[in-house]
Amino acid sequence: MSIFRRDRRDRDRRDPGRVTVQEAAARTGHGSAAEDGADAVLLDVREPDEWQAGHAPRAVHLPLSALAAGAGLPTGAQAGPFVVICRSGNRSQQAAGLLAARGAEAVDVIGGMRDWEAAGLPMVDSRGGNGTVA
């Protein structure tokens, strides 16, 4: 079952779902839980300094502030579906709502990068070294 399937009432409200870091990793092709059919874009909505300190490999970066101001999605990430992540899950929930309002399929990650790091999922910094959550 897809984590992006929602019943009609949810779609009508444009209420995005929430997933755990394990579900996010599987849906985006990260870690040992990766599904063969992983097809979602991991969209990191933290600020640049947080992104530089550590992010998931292959994640796409677009700060919530830019998304809220109407910025378009980076090239190669427009199609979605999206798994949206931030530090703790608050900003990503807002961003998933904004994306859903634009008609995109989006879910946010409960616990964000804090839980991602705690689960031992891969992280890199802006220089390709081991990343940390800032």
Catalytic center residues = 86
Number of neighbouring beta carbons within 10 Å of residue 124: 15
Supply the DSSP symbol for 63. Answer: -
CA dihedral sign, ordered 100, 89, 81, 20: negative
Whose structure tokens read 């992280």? 123
CA distance 82 to 96: 8
Supply the DSSP symbol for 124. Answer: B
